[in-house]
Chains A and B, each alone.
Chain A
């Protein structure tokens, strides 16, 4: 029966539906698939960072016993890419290679060993091109840009926007804080390495099983790259052994095995080595940042100008979106009367960056939350109290026209302050120990799809029949986050069943309605809303039939505990199965569908599509550290984190996501570095991944994980399924800056760049001892020619969300008195 919150399943601590098959090793991941007559594929990858391919001689490899097929770039005339504006990838490079690891040829053989051996027989002749190793090198003019379509030289793209007159806002501030930060790149490090199996059928169609977060986007990319109707392609997303954004691009190896399978008429499999996964990358961009923020004496923000510069690596990937995300979400947490930004991305000869958990937002969040700590200190305010004073209010637009729904940020701050003992610790712990606080916000799904269209973002279909069986279908991919459990749980809630009574089929483009994929924390909200709609429609079909049979008004019927009955007579009625039979008798074969399309965005300026979300999640964290002053080692003693998840559908899953976010955040803060090694340029052009292995790419082990206290905060949002928001990405955001702020509290040094390694702490301590500025971080932000900003008036200055570069509009902005602007 329904519990205190009015739900029977929602909010209950439940073992997730796929737990047992996972912990008993029975879940079939892509690499577990073995089909009769299956062949194996290996890719030859570029050993040069930047070069023209002059020729490829595959004859010796083709003659190698056991080799079935060799493919090169000549076999793939069509380019593809995740974003319509950056179709810059080929399954195998044809003219040029752009980083060490770029694939140039594929060998398909009877076994992996043979394929691997044959790779060594392929001879590629390259003409080396200059290596672009750093952002500084990328900003220089060049005759031979990495990508022809770059905006200028190796500058992929530059953005400039101004929401109100920020210069004026800074002039009118009592203080202006000007800080620079650097956030090193890092990668997802999902446990499962990417794998894919393709099987052509005799009629010329093909099926691809893959460890992908986005079967729909892979489907589209395959259709394009293989020049085939999408209707002849089936993509099945196997359960992923973690994704974190690393499996959201369509990948070259997926397209290669699909083509190979069609050419050979046999299934073809590929499983990448861990090293190759590092080359797929699409991880966190290294970002340089500068934040200029105006603040009044009493602790209100007047405006902020944010600059970001991203090192994108060799390809576009999600890069344009990533660039927007480094600037779009900054105004969602605290009230910012005016806001402007300049953001750019460059190409370098490195594995391409893309989306990783928090996509583009952890970097500026790191800068912003440290800067707030500095501001609070200057204003002699408690950093938690200071933040409480500027928290954004619910149900309003931000300066850049993002619509905030419910916002539990203040409660998150209060909860972590309370539970961590903040008040008795901040600036009060003995030397070497310290606490730091920081906050964050994240989208619950991007309001716009990757490609422009007016169709739903998520579709759910439910099939019921006389057996009483309920099967629910959705195109989502279970990447470990628990989406299958959310899907089943919501349908069970609406139909009054238990999760075990419902089967789900997900991530299969032949069987399931389209869902855009497991990215941008969109699944619970979008799939969830579609699932509720489909389930309510199924319930309505049954209720209609039952109302007739039981001669009861429809709205007197209740679905609970596997039964359907009149609320006035709970012992009457019938079992769910009998009810379905009744409905099948009345309606014929039973099926229902639901779909979800996000609300329209409020901004109408070009570029307003990046940032809007149906609702935003909020988090706050207090981290306690102990810093060893002799070595600079940082030990995280405790993390207290609160997360506004709107409504916690299954608290076990929410806590799992939050703790996972904390884990990943500590790794990014203290050790993870996805970097390259440049050899002495006089002797070599080489530029290689520094540590493409799980041993040498350092991330936390369980020994390094502190105790985490999770506080779930629920501010249900009308746009969420039963009010739910996301939990997969947001909780990561406060961790890195909270650690930096805690280090400052512990030993009085500012480390304004990630990762915070012991050598940096020791250097800063030395500076401090020498009476110098105790700070490690970038001294300046790179010099760039920015375009004229797109000017948009904030909502409270009479703006309507459209862009205008007309001078009178700007002047209108100036006429508003600043104090009105600050607290409208």
Chain B
């Protein structure tokens, strides 16, 4: 079997304690949440932290608090998140996204924080050390060529988290805690469109919670494109949140594409186009076209890149039809292998 490289294990009981350890060890330490991303990566030699710091003993990280909106602890497992009825009812896109992460067994371990911080993915990178040695490694780790685009100076590894696009569409903010203090930022500002340096996170910061605004008037949905009905990372994610006025006019909208770049991509053009309109078929068609422009699928995930590009507008349209109120659950089942709730 594949073995983990050696590391020192820390199990702090409080957030303060955890922050102190991180402040001390700096980039030699990594945070271990559910481990469903980090541990396989360590076995493949993609990360070799000298210190691993588990968050499991910090119970406050699993709190879900109702205020004006909702605050969700970063340590909540996806299975726990799925059993929360407020999330299910009010933050549909998040619930739907969490529901289609990986497999039930993995969701039992996987945390929301880990999903947000998920390493970017690439078929040339998510391989064993021996495999990567045989291509002389790549830009993202131990090498100097990007094999996806040999002229590229940056890494094009793909943001493959399911929940992040949904959260960005829902306007989520996150709290980052360190010994030096804490800050709250919009989730989209947490990301860089760079497969290597994809997070604006200082090595000493812990993502402690996700903060969601109240939802009155908003409807949201999440569509995921993947090969199979379970197990697979998204090769395209579409998260749409729309705020309607009473007569069905779009008051505000956020359309986010996942797995088409190194970060979740928010299409402000599409949102601008939608605002003030009623979602009729023509508007849906055009929004699909506009929003799809921000996507640049490259050949480092599953499925044919030109095909992926071709179906992006379709998926955006499906999502829009759904927030409009169309019942397209059978289509959802067929092409996205996803049930509605």
Chains A and B form a bound pair: yes
Is B215 positioned at the interface, with any CB of A under 8 Å from its CB?
no
Q: Per-residue 0/1 for B306-341: is the Cβ within 8 Å of any A Cβ (1 yes, 0 no)?
A: 110011001000000000000000010011010000
Is B147 positioned at the interface, with any CB of A under 8 Å from its CB?
yes
| Other A-B pairs, 9, CB within 8 Å; known A631-B335, A679-B147, A690-B123 | A100-B134, A271-B1, A683-B150, A686-B134, A689-B131, A691-B123, A692-B128, A692-B131, A703-B229
Interface residues of B in 75-133 (CB under 8 A from A): 123, 126-128, 130-131, 133
Pair B304/A47 contact, Cβ less than 8 Å:
no
Interface residues of B in 124-162 (CB under 8 A from A): 126-128, 130-131, 133-136, 145, 147, 150
Closest chain B residue to A700 by CB distance?
B228
Q: Per-residue 0/1 for A25-60: is the Cβ within 8 Å of any B Cβ (1 yes, 0 no)?
A: 000000000000000000001011000000000000
Pair B303/A113 contact, Cβ less than 8 Å:
no
Listed A/B pairs (21) with beta-carbon separation below 8 Å: A45-B130, A100-B134, A275-B130, A275-B131, A626-B334, A628-B331, A635-B334, A671-B228, A677-B123, A683-B150, A690-B123, A691-B123, A693-B127, A696-B302, A698-B228, A701-B228, A704-B337, A759-B303, A759-B304, A762-B310, A762-B311
Q: Considering residues A112, A116, A633, A700, which has the most beta carbons from chain B within 10 angstroms of its beta carbon? A: A633
Task: Give the residue of A47, A271, A628, A635 whose beta carbon is less than 8 angstroms from that of B134.
Answer: A47
Task: Give the residue of A116, A275, A680 whose beta carbon is less than 8 angstroms from that of B3.
Answer: A116
Q: Per-residue 0/1 for A624-636: is the Cβ within 8 Å of any B Cβ (1 yes, 0 no)?
A: 0010101111010
Interface residues of A in 664-708 (CB under 8 A from B): 671, 677, 679-680, 683-684, 686, 688-693, 695-696, 698, 700-704
Pair A630/B314 contact, Cβ less than 8 Å:
yes
Is B186 positioned at the interface, with any CB of A under 8 Å from its CB?
no
Q: Which residues of A contact B (CB under 8 A)?
A: 45, 47-48, 100, 112-113, 116, 271, 273, 275, 626, 628, 630-633, 635, 671, 677, 679-680, 683-684, 686, 688-693, 695-696, 698, 700-704, 757-759, 762
Minimum CB–CB distance for A273 against chain B, Å: 6
Minimum CB–CB distance for B85 against chain A, Å: 25
Is B227 positioned at the interface, with any CB of A under 8 Å from its CB?
yes
- Chain B residues with CB under 8 Å of A702's CB are 230
Size range of the chain B interface in the assembly: 20 to 34
Closest chain A residue to B103 by CB distance?
A701
Given A275-B128, A679-B135, A688-B134, is A631 in contact with B314 using a C-beta cutoff of 8 Å?
A: yes
Pair B306/A759 contact, Cβ less than 8 Å:
yes
SS class of chain A's interface: helix, strand, loop or mixed?
loop
Given A273-B2, A671-B227, A690-B123, is A683 in contact with B128 using a C-beta cutoff of 8 Å?
A: no
- Chain A residues with CB under 8 Å of B145's CB are 683
Is B7 positioned at the interface, with any CB of A under 8 Å from its CB?
no
- Chain B residues with CB under 8 Å of A635's CB are 334
- Chain A residues with CB under 8 Å of B126's CB are 693, 696
Pair B231/A633 contact, Cβ less than 8 Å:
no
- Chain B residues with CB under 8 Å of A273's CB are 1-2, 128
Q: Which 4 A-B pairs have the closest CB atoms?
A: A703-B229, A759-B307, A759-B304, A47-B134
- Chain B residues with CB under 8 Å of A762's CB are 307, 310-311
Q: Please, how many angstroms separate the alpha-carbon atoms of A739 and B227 in the complex?
A: 17
Pair B150/A628 contact, Cβ less than 8 Å:
no
Minimum CB–CB distance for A512 against chain B, Å: 31
Minimum CB–CB distance for B61 against chain A, Å: 28
Pair A633/B335 contact, Cβ less than 8 Å:
yes
Pair B1/A633 contact, Cβ less than 8 Å:
no
Task: Give the residue of A631, A633, A684, A757 whose beta carbon is less than 8 angstroms from that of B135.
Answer: A684
Given A271-B1, A683-B145, A692-B131, is A630 in contact with B311 using a C-beta cutoff of 8 Å?
A: yes
Task: Give the residue of B2, B130, B303, B334 whose beta carbon is less than 8 angstroms from that of A47.
Answer: B130
Closest chain B residue to A688 by CB distance?
B134
Given A112-B3, A626-B334, is A696 in contact with B123 using a C-beta cutoff of 8 Å?
A: yes
